[in-house]
Amino acid sequence: MAASGVTALVVAGPSGLVEHDGGPRHPERPARIVSVMEGVGALGSEHEVISPAFAEASMDELARVHDPLYLASLASFCAEGGGDIDADTYARPDSWPAARRAAGAGLAALQALEQRGEGVAFVPVRPPGHHATARQAMGFCLVNNVAVAAASRTALGERVLIVDWDVHHGNGTQDIFWDDPDVLYVSTHQHPLYPGTGRPDEVGGLGAPGLTLNLPVPPGATGDVLRAALDQEARATIEEFEPDWVLVSCGFDAHRDDPLSDLQLSSGDFAELARIVCGFAPRPGRLALFLEGGYQHAALASSVEATLRALLGGRGTTSAPTNGGPGLDQLRADGTARRRAVEGAGSA
């Protein structure tokens, strides 16, 4: 699907502008959504923007990827006043409905794309989701939004590619789909960094060998390294998988100005990543991006604008892509280790 062929932008959100507030010192706070929507607004009026209605995801929709006991426990914890779940993750009385609305927005985005048969979707919601496992909240995440959306399509017999370019590895998404032959999970992430998972030899379970594809990059890596990871290291696996949908865990914390990481991407790099990922979609109306991280607000706004503008066929005024950082040689070495691990998983 060529980016220039996209005419409509489906924005399922915003959600989390007020609710689920951990205070002004917590990096994952409502002001992030204000910055994200500034980036959306900077696109101007030249493209059609559709804002579908959305509601809280149902318990059945959440239970496709989360243990019902975990969901019930989280709901009760919030109803009783909430508190700190771990050193990074919190819940408040309004966090449970906020998490359900965030997941529901993703479901509405895919439904809107399917009804239109064209366009690209962006889901600007919080709390984010890719660290939430089937049974555990962590890393600012309560419910795994992209996983809920992916499972809604695999339940219909469709195959889903999830590309995760957040700077942190999406351990929750990997955990949920580890043994699922209908989901290909591809992650670029800084390593070492929280949560410590995402090694290249983590390749999927016996039911899905090779369908987890981790592409860790070192601190200081620039955009050319991530572009090579997706365009060179991952492309063959993606094309062989032949996805029906492409969903992106779209974090912007790999930006060089972000306080929680050490990668050196510019907003222009996110535009280039978006163009690459757009080419993986089988046809128009099958690409949706889900907000994950991004904690420097000016960088967040500019990166959202650059990403969406690229998908809508425009270039605009954005910073240049970056090149020359470390990691290209490591990508190639990791590819050899990954292939050996897949061969071992397939024969186990």
Q: Among 34, 6, 28, which residue's Cα sits nearest to residue 308?
A: 6
How far apart (Å, rounded) are the C-alpha atoms in residues 202 and 241?
A: 18
Per-residue burial over 267-282, b = 16 or more CB atoms within 10 Å of its CB, e = otherwise = bbbbbbbbbbbbbbbe
Q: Which listed residue (66, 130, 131, 255) is catalytic?
A: 131
Which one-letter DSSP state was computed for residue 320? P
Q: Among 270, 256, 262, 172, which residue's Cα sits nearest to residue 212?
A: 172
Is-contact 149 129, C-beta < 8 A?
Answer: no
How far apart (Å, rounded) are the C-alpha atoms in residues 107 and 151?
A: 10
How far apart (Å, rounded) are the C-alpha atoms in residues 193 and 184?
A: 23
Is-contact 13 40, C-beta < 8 A?
Answer: no
Which one-letter DSSP state was computed for residue 57? P
- Tokens found for residue 167: 């700077």
Told to judge if 189 belongs to the known catalytic residues of this protein, a careful annotator would answer no
For residue 188, the cross-strand partners are: 215
- Tokens found for residue 148: 């809920």
Q: Which helix (H) or strand (E) holds 275?
A: helix 267-278
Residues with catalytic function: 131
